[in-house]
Each structure stands twice: as structure tokens, then as C-alpha cells.
Amino acid sequence: MLNNLPPLAPFRPRLLQDLRGYNVEKLGRDVGAGATVGIVALPLAMAFAIASGLKPEAGLWTAIIAGFLISALGGTSVQIGGPAGAFIVIVYGIVERYGVANLLIATASAGVLLFLLGLFRLGTLVRYVPVSVVIGFTNGIAVLIALSQVRDWLGLDIAKMPGDFFSQISTIAHHIGSLNPYAFGLGTLCVIGLFVWPRLWAVDSQFRRQLEHVDTMSALKATSRLPAPVVALVTLSLLAWAMKLPVETIGTRFGGIPQGLPALALPEFSWQTVKQLVTPTLTIALLGAIESLLCARVADQLSETPKHDPNQELMAQGVANFVVPFFGGMPATGTIARTVTNIRSGAVSPIAGIVHAATLAAVVLIAAPLAQHIPLAVLAGVLLFVAWNMGEWREFGRLKHFSNHYRLMMLSTFLVTIVFDLTVAVELGLVLACLLFVRRQSDIFRADPLPQLDPDVVQFRLYGSLFFGAVSKIDPIVAAVEKSHAGVRVELDASQLISLDTSGLDSLEQLHKLVAKRGGQLVLNHLNPQPASLIERSGFGARLRGENASAEHA
């Protein structure tokens, strides 16, 4: 029996393949792209960690360590790994309910699960999650990310935000009187700047055209290449520091970022604790798998590099998520925004992702003390922008073009993600998808009567799949048999019957018993391979042939 199992997936990082024929020209492109993405990742990594209820260095070292491991061991050429916005709501809920130590254990356990998913070639299973479910929970997470940033955006005097949706709204409403106009102004300027900056330097923008003949245009062009989040972070932090604005910063809340390598720490582990963390572990693993493979598919579409290996990618994600908790990190996965930036910056191999991690490490080790001046309202503005870009809001307007089944799956997943939990939402979405698929397939099956040329013969043609959800559709045949005289011959044309399950087989056997009880014959004509195989393996085909042969001899 063990010999019939599929072989395990080989551990073959894409880096080894891409290094064949690697040259100086490719290295230059990768270094430029990696440095650019490293700068982009800096504010995002801190913002994701803070929004998740962790210290900013947790996000930074996750981006560095996991980013390096995912690029070095992954199954894609240009994907960038690290902390992701999708994890904010999940991690915050786990920290609030179980504590940081248990988050680390859940993340490491999820890493083991992810590695096993890849090792046993289950990477393709993630593709079976319906797109309506993915859009639903993605939009739901975007709403929750935006809501979680309202406290820092408005500068509200709230010691700790609760984890669930309605409690957050109630807490914000209760403390709205403590609004800090300076924090609100910085956060709003950040959001506006993030929207405006790339449009200012677009090829067809009026602003760029007016500067075409200015002597300093080359310097301005160099400035235009700076990522918008970095421009917002630097300029608004300088503004707040120079004007001594009374706003909360990384320094006032966390005491700054340690300048040095993270210490290796082993979280306290026990099987009793692991048993309590089954749901958080599954949530992190499920979301990490979905996000990383969706990101890999986006990279395949935008890049000319070879298509990704989903199993190798999951194994790399597993290694990264197993390792980062020992350095105080948070869950990591593939990140679409940074991956797209990497591709557009000219990356051609995983070396770019390794350079991205090295760039981040250099910035943290050299300039960590400067981070204490960053206002939290500015990081909130960055995450509000991330949430806006993360959500696929146009899909709500397009719902009118789709079926009620699609609307039900997307909207229910969206609402349950917001009100309850991502895991519950995905489970509900998959259950609904299965139920609606069963209903749709049962609607397709039908048994149509054929013209009755001989009063001793009842003929029907079967269409579609005869399975457990469609067995009631053969009732017209039963009714026709019951109305006919004894000794009737029932012929079923199965040329359009594409599949049959054991419930469908049982319904045919019950029909056969009814026909035999009335002294008649049941004949199945033109069987396709799958129905024929099941009928033969069950012995039903032999019984039919034997009885029909006996009737002909009689």
C-alpha cells in the first residue's frame, strides 16, 4: 500500500536554478531592485508589527530573517516575503487572547504544518479555494486593518484596543473626545501624500511636464524614484520633530528600536499549550499558504521568470515561520505589494530578495535610534493606504453581474471575517461553496423521456452527473415504471451521463429492483468510462447482463 503513495516533493530552491548562467548584469538589476524593496519594506514592517500589538523590531527582524529564508529557499524567482497586512488582525487577536509567547509557539507550529503541506505535494490544494471566498476575506481584513488604525490616526487616548469589531467601534466612540488634531493632521497628510506622490511623477502628469525644461530635472527625477511611504515617513517625522508636535511616537510608546542583532530565545513549549493553540496555528498556516501562493501567481503574471513551484514555496514558508519566532518575530508570508515593487524595479532572481533583507538589516543596525522620532499617526496613515490598496472594492459594484451563489459566498465571507474570525469565515465560505456546487450540479442532472414507440418499452436519456445530490431526479423514471404494465422493458441511454457516485449507483439498483419486481428488464446503454467502471466494480453490471441474458433465452 505504501508503494502506491505519491513521492514526496523534492527540496529544490529556485535560487539554485537561477544561479545557473547568472552574470554581472543580472546582479546589478537584482541589487538595485533589492535595495529599493528594502527601503519600501522598512515602514511597512514596523507598521505591521505595531498594528499587531507587537514591538516594531518584531516586524523588522521578521522582514529580515523571513525575507532572507523565503528568497533563498523558495519556489519563486522574484517573490518577497515578510510580515503582511493580512496577518494584522489574526496576530492581534492571538496576542490579546493567548499572549506573545503563545503567538511564537503558534507561528512555529504553523511553520511545521506549512512545510508538511509542501513536502506532501499539497500546494495545489490552495487553488481550490473559490475566488469569491478569497475576495471576501481579503476585503474583510482590509476593513479591520483600517479600523485598527483609527486610534493612532486620531491620536485617541486609548491604552489598549480590544480585538473584536463591535468592541473597537464602541471604544473609539467612547474616546472620540480625546482626538489629537496634530496626530489627525499628520495621518491625513500621510494618506494624501501616498495617493498624490506617484501621480505627480507619472509620465503623463501635468506636474512632470512643467518641470521638463528645469535645470534641476535630473535631481528631481532621482527624487521621484523614492518610494512614497519612505518620503512620507521621513518628511512628516522631520516636521513633527522640528515643530515639536505633541504626538505619540515610536520612542514614547516603545522606547525606540534596539540597535543590534536580536537575541535567540526559545519560547516555553509544552504539548498542553500546543493543544490549546490548534485554531491559531491552523489560521496562520491557512492564511500564510493562501497569501504566499496568490502572491506567487501574481508574480508569474507580471514577470518573465519561470512559473513558481507551489510545494517548494510552502516548504520555504514553513522554514521561515518556524525560525522567526526564535528571534521574537511574527508570522510571515509572500507580500504582493513588495513583490510587485521588486518586479517593476527589475529583479530577475531570488538574489533581489536576499539583498532586500540585507538592506533592511543595514538600516536597522545603523539608523535604529532615528526610528524613535517616527509618529505613530504617520505609520497609521501608511496602513490606511495599505488597507485601501489591499481591498478589491470594485468587486462589490460588480456583484450585480454574478449569480446569487457568488454573491452569497463573497458577502457572507466578508461579513463573518469582520464580525467573527477569519478561520470561521473561510470555513463558512468553503462549506457554502461545496453546498452551492452540489446544488448547481444537481440542477444540471436530468432524466428526459424519449418517444415511446413500443408500449412494452420505456426509454429515458440521462444527462449530467448522477450523484447523492441528484438521486431524486430519477423519480420520473420510477413514476413511469409504476404506471406501466408488468414485464415492461426500461432502457436508459447513458451516453450523456458523465459521472456516477455510490448514491447514484444505489438509486439505479433500487430502480432495478422495482423493474424486476414487476417482471421487467433494466438496460443501460452507451455507458461512459467512469459510470461503467463503478457499475462493473460493484457487480451491478454482471447482474444486469445475467438477468437480461436469461430473459432473452426465455
40-65 residue pLDDT tens: 899 999 999 999 999 999 999 999 99
Residue 377 DSSP one-character state: H
DSSP track, 35-86: HHHHHHHHHHHHHHHHHTTS-HHHHHHHHHHHHHHHHHH-S-SS--EE--TT
Which 3 state secondary structure label does DSSP give 449? strand
Give bridge partners of residue 457 from the DSSP assignment: 489
73-112 residue pLDDT tens: 999 999 999 999 889 988 998 998 888 989 999 999 999 9
Is the pLDDT score of 2 beyond 50? no
- Beta carbons of 413 and 132 less than 8 angstroms apart: yes
Residues 445-553, CATH architecture: 2-Layer Sandwich (3.30)
As annotated, the residues of the chain forming the CATH 3.30.750.24 domain(s) are: 445-553
6-16 residue pLDDT tens: 689 999 999 99
Cell, residue 502: 455510490
Mean pLDDT value of segment 278-297: 90
- Category of 99 on φ-ψ map: left (φ > 0), alpha (ψ -120 to 50) or beta: left
Give the model's pLDDT for residue 486: 84
429-479 residue pLDDT tens: 888 888 888 888 898 999 999 988 888 899 999 999 999 999 999 999 999
β-pairing verdict for 333-334 and 446-449: unpaired
Is the pLDDT score of 25 beyond 60? yes
- Beta carbons of 53 and 253 less than 8 angstroms apart: no
Highest mean pLDDT among 264-268, 349-353, 423-427, 545-549: 349-353
Residue 378 DSSP one-character state: H
Mean pLDDT value of segment 266-281: 79
Q: What's this model's pTM, rounded to 2 decimal places?
A: 0.82
Q: What is the largest CA-CA distance in the chain?
A: 106
Cell, residue 436: 452551492
Give bridge partners of residue 462 from the DSSP assignment: 447
Phi and psi at residue 479, to the nearest 5°: -65, -40
Locus of grid cell 450523456: 496
Q: How far apart are CA 280 and CA 167, in angstroms?
A: 21
- Beta carbons of 152 and 377 less than 8 angstroms apart: yes
Question: 51 or 1: which carries more pLDDT confidence?
Answer: 51
Q: How far apart are CA 177 and CA 84, in angstroms?
A: 32
Cβ partners under 8 Å of residue 238, min gap 6: none
Residue 349 DSSP one-character state: S
Q: How far apart are CA 139 and CA 85, in angstroms?
A: 12
Candidates 296, 278, 275; CA nearest to 286 is 278
Provide the CA 37 distance to its chain's centre, in angstroms. Answer: 21
Q: Residue 147: exposed, middle, or buried by beta-carbon count in 10 A (0-12, 13-18, 19+)? A: middle
Which 3 state secondary structure label does DSSP give 130? coil
Alpha helices, H only, 120-227: 131-148, 150-154, 165-174, 181-200, 206-210, 217-224
